[in-house]
Amino acid sequence: MVDYPAISEQLDDIESAREDGHRKIDWAREHMPILTALQAEFDAEKPFEGQRIGMAMHVEAKTAVLVETLAEAGADVAVTGCNPLSTHGDVSAALDEHPKITSYAKRGVDDEEYYEAIEAVIAHEPTVTVDDGMDLVAAIHEDYPELIDSIIGGCEETTTGVHRLRAMDDDGALEYPVFAVNDTPMKRLFDNVHGTGESSLANIAMTTNLSWAGKDVVVAGYGYCGKGVAKKAAGQNANVIVTEVEPRRALEAHMEGYDVMPMDEAAAVGDVFLTTTGNRDVITADHFERMNDGVLLANAGHFDIEINLDELAEMAVDEREAREGVREYELQDGRRLNVLAEGRLVNLASPIALGHPVEVMDQSFGVQAVCVRELVENGASDSSSEEGDQYEAGVHEVPDDLDREIAEIKLDAEGVAYDDLSDEQEEYMGSWQHGT
Ligand code: NAI
């Protein structure tokens, strides 16, 4: 195992970094009633006592509240980033001060350091993993399979991670249970849609200081994230163009009133391009050839492979930093294409990025916290629960009652009342005998 130092041993001005980090975390916690309620519940029982939780997440203030919630519930937590640019060093430093937390997350690491930090987390021999993108699960299976027997299970935050896990599961290679947290209504319908929509648009606007109004905005992929981005861009008076490869999603976008066309055509029309596909090579040399001078290119998908930057760099005769977080590529004919946040998820990796709104992440991380609780209570083979060890190796849907629990806490915190089914209604909904 690699000997990689925690963040406190890497930062120069650790005291002031911690102070800034704590301030950011405190602000986030103030607006996270779900995690606050769960922490109150965990405080009494310390349900994670004796567990070691390994995490690879975007280490910023909201994530820090989740990390602290798990640690306060009794776990020893080791955490690192899941993207080289999304870590907030001050938040990482503040986390590392906690006696039950070790943080290895550092902003701006190269590939080698990134994976060394992942290995450093694995060196804590986690009993539970919490991933955003599946890097921890992959590294454990590839390089440390001897640890798998002592792992109760894992939780996966994002679409790309769940895709990778399902592919692994289909190959028969996934050797412990993992909850697809991404796929719950309380995560996907809010985080992917509203979170990605709001935070991507806000970050592009703040990074460039340019308006959305009147712009032709090309949204690649009309999935959960794409829907949010398209809706919010339209709400800012942009003209939205959608590209898709899935016919029903293309039709959905068309019926919403957006222009739908292939990227080959959209390339010549767009002012701003935002990829949200989770796929690779969505924007390539053929498209760069057709683009107008001054376009903005950004990605909100998990990995930095949606816009082919190698091809763009090859085509460019010159490159410069046009603004902080904006790299301008000048082509032979003088056209300049601007790439934001190095093609990494723009809402988390641009210099001023704060990620999703706090309220949205409270929901996603609420689901994460109850999934860890579920694994600890009912996933371990030596679990004291009668239902212990009920999760086989593989990808698991999150039990619906856990997702509902988070919705109920949130509605309660928002002061929103809603109806209950009457006994008659419940009986009617559950019967097949009642017809016309
Ligand atoms: P999704 O599966 O609902 O949507 C992706 C869509 O892209 C699908 O409709 C698919 O048909 C389409 N697509 C695939 N290849 C394409 C291509 N070449 N051209 C056009 N469309 C194409 O996935 P979701 O939940 O919207 O997530 C998308 C990506 O965003 C994933 O990588 C996910 O991990 C990431 N994500 C990022 C967040 C952020 O904070 N930036 C938050 C949540 C998810």
Q: Which domains does the chain have, with CATH numbers?
A: 7-183+356-414 (3.40.50.1480), 193-349 (3.40.50.720)
pLDDT digits (tens, 9 = 90+) for 101-121: 999 999 999 999 999 999 999
Q: Which of 18, 4, 3, 7 is nearest to 103 (CA)?
A: 7
Ligand 1, residues 60, 184, 192: which to mutate, most atoms within 8 A of Cβ? 192
Q: What is the pLDDT of residue 381?
A: 62
What pLDDT score does 368 carry?
98
* Alpha-carbon torsion (309, 312, 318, 321), positive or negative: negative
- Ligand 1 lined by 220 (C-beta under 6 Å): yes
pLDDT of residue 389: 61
Write the DSSP symbol of residue 107.
T
User: Ligand 1 mean position to 434 CA, how many Å?
Assistant: 41
Residue recorded with tokens 């590939």 = 111
Cα of 160 to ligand 1 centre, how many Å?
8
Rounded CA gap, 102 and 384, in Å? 29
Distance 138 CA to ligand 1 centre (A): 21
Residue 277 has pLDDT above 90, yes or no: yes
Confidence class of residue 386 from pLDDT cuts 50, 70 and 90? low
pLDDT tens-digit series, residues 158-205 = 999 999 999 999 999 999 999 999 999 999 999 999 999 999 999 999
Among 60, 86, 159, 256, residue to substitute to test ligand 1 (most atoms within 8 Å of Cβ): 159
User: What confidence score (pLDDT) does residue 2 get?
Assistant: 77
Q: Are strands 52-56 and 336-340 parallel, antiparallel or unpaired?
A: unpaired
User: How many residues appear in the chain?
Assistant: 436
* pLDDT for res 387: 52
Residue 388 confidence (pLDDT): 53
The answer to whether the CB of 54 falls within 8 A of the CB of 127 is no
Q: What confidence tier does 12 reach under pLDDT thresholds 50, 70, 90? A: confident
Q: Is the dihedral of CA 135, 70, 358, 411 positive or negative?
A: positive
In this prediction, residue 14 carries a pLDDT of: 93
What integer pLDDT is reported at residue 209 of this predicted model?
A: 97
% of the chain residues with pLDDT over 90: 94
Query: Mean pLDDT for the chain?
Result: 96
Helix (H) or strand (E) holding 275: strand 272-275
Residue 10: predicted pLDDT = 92
Nearest CA to ligand 1 atom 8: 223
In 3D space, the residue among 252, 254, 224, 259 whose CA is nearest the CA of residue 238 turns out to be: 259
Residue 277 Cβ < 6 Å to ligand 1:
yes
Sheet-wide strand order for 326-331: 259-260, 239-243, 216-220, 272-275, 296-299, 336-340, 326-331, 316-323
Distances in Å between the Cα of 136 and the Cα atoms of 42, 144, 375 are 25, 10, 17
pTM: 0.94
> What is the number of the ligand 1 atom nearest to the C-alpha of 200?
41
Please name the amino acid found at residue 105: A
